[in-house]
Structure 1
Amino acid sequence: MWNFRVTTIWGIPIKVNISLLIFLPVLAWLISSTAQIEVYAAIVSGLSGTQLDLARLQAGSTPWLIGAAAAVGLFASVALHELGHSYAAMRYGLETESITLWILGGLASFKTMPREWNREFWIAVAGPITSILVGLACYGALLALPASATVTLFVVGWLAVTNVVLAVFNMLPAFPMDGGRVLRALLARNRPYASATRIAARIGTGFAVLFAVVGVLSFSPLLLLLALFIYGAATGESRTVALADLLAGLTVGDVARPATATIEADARVEELVDRMFADRTTEFTVTDGGEVVGVVTVRDFRALSQAERQADTVADLMETDLPRFEETMEAFDALVALDTGGASAALVDGPSGTRVVSREDFSSAMEMRRLVGESGPF
């Protein structure tokens, strides 16, 4: 939401989130503060062997120029970091849907995530390696620049230091940060992928709590935001992997139920209510001339008055804009599509006709898998 596409590299859309546009001036202001300039001027002077002129760096509007250049350079570095991940993924034939720059850095969205531990390992470390290389390139430029280029020396030196810090920070085992993904990859060498994800996610949530405590004590809103992000992403990915494991090997055709509880589209809602009580079911497949055309549930008529129930037909209430899946589609992919579309159910087409699948069907399938412990289809 609120992402703006700025360019495309290697066919990958590079997007900027509105949170970054709001944060950039704040970041520029923080970098341009007297304390920051003094600290980094000393560091850059040590790295370059040239004593930077503090008075020149702090004269007039120069601090704002430094802050703006450094802030933009930082997020350009973050984009290169994410492109490092994307390049490694491309080497394995994996597609990157987009790279989004936002207030906490960058996010590379992959179409599919590899489960092979060595692939995930190299994709994860490619980002920090890229940041180290960018830092070394900035350091090389720092040594090559003339001593008179005070402002440029400061910005390039600041980027050299910041890229190394970025690489080191990202290697913390706070899943789903790069270090956390490296940890999961190493754990997955000798244990199931879901188990490795659970362990990495628990460690990630531990780091989230640590960041939150430090954020409160140091009055750092960014650390609190990072803590929330890590906690939500770690628990979310752990849940997703668990669902994928429970649905592994199943197609949506295995999960879909036959359209046994059916009602005609031209039936009155009152008749639907009577059928629901009689059949002890809260969801019906709607047919029109024997063809499945939609789904109706108890939620669809709950707010209707008695007069409306007598006057309206099932066709007036039923959900018709349901997604349609081929029965050979993988069950997990179908569940993701169902959630993404916000639909309560979907129609499943196959040689034997059209059937219906709902979230409850996926839940039942996963519960059966968990209880029985079998990996095959039903």
Structure 2
Amino acid sequence: MRNFHVTTVWGIPIRVNISLLVFLPVLAWLIGSGSQIELYAGLVGGLAGTTLDLARLQAGSTPWLVGTLAAVGLFVSVTLHELGHAWAAMRYDLEVESITLWILGGLASFKQMPREWNREFWIAVAGPITSILVGVVCYAGLLALPASATVTLFVVGWLAVTNVFLAVFNMLPAFPMDGGRVLRALLARSRPYASATRIAARIGTAFAVLFAVVGALSFSPLLLLLALFIYAAATGESRTVALSDLLDGLTVGDVARPAALTIEAEASVEDLVDRMFADRSTEFTVTQGGEVVGVVTVADFHALSQAERSSDTVADLMETDLPRLAADLSAFDALVELDTSRASAALVEGPDGVHVVSREDFSSAMEMRRLVGTGDPF
């Protein structure tokens, strides 16, 4: 979904997802509804040592004002929470690409997550610590405000309570929430990083199922959405770490294969079919004037109509917009590049010429690594 750039803090772009823009009026209405104001007025009044005028809070358009201020304040608090993560990451010289606010809160995107358990621990806890500090500041403001400032008292008190709740909720060991990352960091002290990730991801999946059940029983769409997010993120990160471990220490040049099976771009489709049968291969590197210019597969051939098969050349159906990668690029980063560009293969430029790497090559390399263990079969 589309993101809108709002501002930049410490060189980090702060973006707002369109889902948040749609959800904010709904959140303002939920907070400003009579039952929510009644629920929190007594709590905030107790914290402030006074009694809030409930009739004043519920009069006319005041509930909308209360709801809007509280909703905006909540996402300012979420931004500060994510900036807490970002500040801790920057202390370790890690690059923070962006902070995105969306319907379920905020996401700080790092160029690379650290594998050192102590770094991940402090980056993870920095967010909840920031939320606690924001809650304390709001509580101090609550005590300093005059009793006559009913609306301001309510909003500041609500933010004090909500920030503490935000910190506590985020510390649940539901990977990849903050508590789940803390759990992985502590597990990684005494076991391999991939193993720690698998355990944390399983616990995160269990929480996702729990949230889904509670969300279904309480008719809470947000809890169901959170369950889906945790499940997808936990399983996705577990896979990513497993892939990274299997490709650790390899460059894309190690994985790529020489362009042994080649066909000229000017060759006819019939020539291509004959070569596929003769060489028992469904993929060929396409050359033109001795230079590698693309890749052609049996899938490209299947996409042609009968008329095109008799008139087209290999140049008409080959894939040419393939990523070009340096041979010394890490294999994992190359696989990410392949996924990002949605290409079936990439051209690898090395000192001994241009090679080709496909998803099948990465699969073969990982299977070899899995079979032989952590040694280097290349």
Counterpart residue number, 1:295: 295
Q: Once the two structures are superposed, what CA deviation does each residue of 1:226-266 show, in whole Å capped at 9, x if it has no partner? A: 00000000000000000000000000000000101100010
Counterpart residue number, 1:160: 160
1:341 aligns with 2:341: yes
Deviation, 1:326, is: 0.6
Counterpart residue number, 1:16: 16
Distance 1:82 1:100 in 2: 9
Matches within 5 A, 1:1-378: 1-376=1-376, 378=378
Distance 1:133 1:376 in 2: 48
Corresponding residue pairs, total: 378
Query: Is the CA contact 1:249–1:377 (under 8 Å) kept in the aligned structure 2?
Result: no
Deviation, 1:12, is: 0.4
Distance 1:143 1:377 in 2: 67
Secondary structure of 2:267 counterpart:
coil
Distance 2:341 2:84 in 1: 31
Greater Cα offset, 151-160 or 280-289: 280-289
Assess, with a 3 A threshold, how the Cα gap between structure 1 residues 281 and 8 changes in structure 2: closer, same or farther. Answer: same
Secondary structure of 1:189 counterpart:
coil
Deviation, 1:282, is: 0.6
Distance 1:311 1:39 in 2: 75
The aligned amino acid for 1:63 is P
Deviation, 1:377, is: 5.2
Secondary structure of 2:205 counterpart:
helix
The aligned amino acid for 2:197 is T
Distance 1:305 1:22 in 2: 45
Q: Once the two structures are superposed, what CA deviation does each residue of 1:300-339 show, in whole Å capped at 9, x if it has no partner? A: 1113244422311101111111000110000000000100
Distance 1:307 1:204 in 2: 53
Using the size of structure 1 for normalisation, the TM-score is: 0.99
Distance 2:195 2:356 in 1: 32
Assess, with a 3 A threshold, how the Cα gap between structure 1 residues 377 and 9 changes in structure 2: closer, same or farther. Answer: farther
Distance 1:45 1:198 in 2: 45
The aligned amino acid for 1:22 is V
The aligned amino acid for 1:45 is G
The aligned amino acid for 1:304 is L
> Which consecutive segments of 4 or more residues in structure 1 shift more than 6 A?
none
The aligned amino acid for 2:343 is A
Distance 1:283 1:372 in 2: 27
The aligned amino acid for 1:105 is G
Distance 1:310 1:68 in 2: 66
Greater Cα offset, 367-376 or 219-228: 367-376
Distance 1:109 1:245 in 2: 21
Query: Is the CA contact 2:368–2:377 (under 8 Å) kept in the aligned structure 1?
Result: no
The aligned amino acid for 1:7 is T
The aligned amino acid for 2:320 is T
Distance 2:304 2:92 in 1: 55
Unaligned runs of 5+ in 1: none
Query: Is the CA contact 2:138–2:159 (under 8 Å) kept in the aligned structure 1?
Result: yes
Deviation, 1:376, is: 2.1
The aligned amino acid for 2:188 is A
Secondary structure of 1:101 counterpart:
strand
Distance 1:65 1:308 in 2: 65
Distance 1:60 1:292 in 2: 72
Distance 2:374 2:170 in 1: 38
Distance 2:171 2:235 in 1: 19
Deviation, 1:114, is: 0.1
Distance 2:187 2:375 in 1: 22
Using the size of structure 2 for normalisation, the TM-score is: 0.99
Query: Is the CA contact 1:250–1:377 (under 8 Å) kept in the aligned structure 2?
Result: no
Q: Once the two structures are superposed, what CA deviation does each residue of 1:257-285 show, in whole Å capped at 9, x if it has no partner? A: 01011000100011101111111111000
The aligned amino acid for 1:112 is Q
Distance 2:377 2:340 in 1: 25
Q: Once the two structures are superposed, what CA deviation does each residue of 1:180-227 show, in whole Å capped at 9, x if it has no partner? A: 000000000010000000000000000000000000000000000000
How much is the aligned-residue C-alpha RMSD, in angstroms?
A: 0.7
Query: Is the CA contact 1:248–1:375 (under 8 Å) kept in the aligned structure 2?
Result: no
Secondary structure of 1:90 counterpart:
helix
The aligned amino acid for 1:302 is H
Query: Is the CA contact 1:300–1:317 (under 8 Å) kept in the aligned structure 2?
Result: yes
